[in-house]
Structures are given as structure tokens and as C-alpha cells.
Structure 1
Amino acid sequence: MFIVDVALKNNPAPVSVQRKSEDDAKALYQQIVGAIQSGNPATVELSCEQQAGKTVCVLVSEIAAVQMAEKSGSATSSGRPPGFFALAE
């Protein structure tokens, strides 16, 4: 399972969606990066493959960052998950 996190301006928690395959996650990542670079389309609709029915629409102008990571069951020795948005749970 792969996670795509989208950090929004002035929002401390990222919007996260999951993809079952690495190719699908990379395609979504590239779609979001392309939208950020071009400013077109104005919104990006994201849906999660893990939780059916989880869908969110995000204004591209409000995206601060995007990251893709493989979901692993283990956390680091600090007890925090890996990644840029390693928030304590």
C-alpha cells in the first residue's frame, strides 16, 4: 500500500489517500505535481482506495507540498512514522 500526502497551506495536517500499487501512487503524485506547476486544473479531486467513499477536492493554489511513501507497519525508534509529516499519533 502506498500513501500520497498533500500538505495544504495554513493546515497542520496533511490530506492523505492510499493506492494499492506503486504505479497508481506515482501517477497520482505526478498528476498533483503537474497541477501545481501549471495551475491547471484549479482543483484536484482525490479518492482513497483503502477507504471506499473517501473523496476530497483540493484547490491547487492551496497545495504547499506533496509526498509519496510506501506504507509500512513499523515505525521508527522514536515511535513516529517515516516521512516529512511524521506527526506523533
Structure 2
Amino acid sequence: MYIIELTLKNTPIPLSVQRKSAEDAEEVYKQILAALRGDSQLLELTCERQPDKKVAVFSSEICAVQIYEKSGASAAGKAPGFFAVTQ
């Protein structure tokens, strides 16, 4: 399972949708990047794992997007992303 996660301006909790294949996840990622490069538009995303889960967001409110594979290691409490916290 692959997760596409959006970070929005002035919102502490990210939004995410899931795709079963890497190709489908990459397609959604590219769709979001294209929206970010263009004029502000409304993006509607759905989740394959939970078909009733839908989210709509203006592309001008997105400040980051990441894609990652959901694995057993990430379920152990380590959040995905690019930041590392040392103790």
C-alpha cells in the first residue's frame, strides 16, 4: 500500500489517500504536482483502501506532498518524512 500525504498551510494535521500500486500512487503524485505548478484549482482525491473517503482541497493551500510505502516498520511509531529527530 502506498500513501500520498498532503501538508496544508496553517494546518498541523496532514491529509492522506492510499493507493494499492506504486504506479497508481505515482500518478496521483504527478496530478498534485501539476496542480501546484498551475493556477489554483480544486483537487478531489479518493482513497482506494476506504472508497468512501474523499477529500477536496485547493491546490494553492498545499505546501508539501510526499509519497511513501506503508510498511510494518512505519507502523512501529516512526513517522515517514524527511525530518529526523535525535535524542
Judge conservation of contact 1:9–1:62 (CA < 8 Å) in 2. Answer: yes
Q: Which residue of structure 1 lines up, in the alignment, with residue 80 of structure 2?
A: 82
Q: Equivalents in 1 of 2:52, 2:22: separation in Å?
A: 21
Q: Which residue of structure 2 lines up, in the alignment, with residue 50 of structure 1?
A: 49
Q: Equivalents in 2 of 1:11, 1:85: separation in Å?
A: 18
Shift of 1:66: 0.5
List gaps (5 residues or longer) in structure 1: none
List gaps (5 residues or longer) in structure 2: none
Shift of 1:60: 0.7
Q: 1:60 to 1:80 in 2, by over 3 A?
A: same
Q: Calculate the aligned-residue CA RMSD, in Å.
A: 2.1
Shift of 1:39: 1.9
What is the letter of the counterpart of residue 3 of structure 2? I
Q: Equivalents in 1 of 2:31, 2:15: separation in Å?
A: 15
Shift of 1:10: 0.2
Q: Which residue of structure 1 lines up, in the alignment, with residue 10 of structure 2?
A: 10
Judge conservation of contact 1:74–1:81 (CA < 8 Å) in 2. Answer: no
Normalised to the residue count of structure 2, the TM-score between the two structures is: 0.86
Identity %: 51
Q: 1:85 to 1:13 in 2, by over 3 A?
A: farther
Shift of 1:82: 2.5
Normalised to the residue count of structure 1, the TM-score between the two structures is: 0.85
Q: How many residues align?
A: 84
Q: Equivalents in 1 of 2:18, 2:29: separation in Å?
A: 11
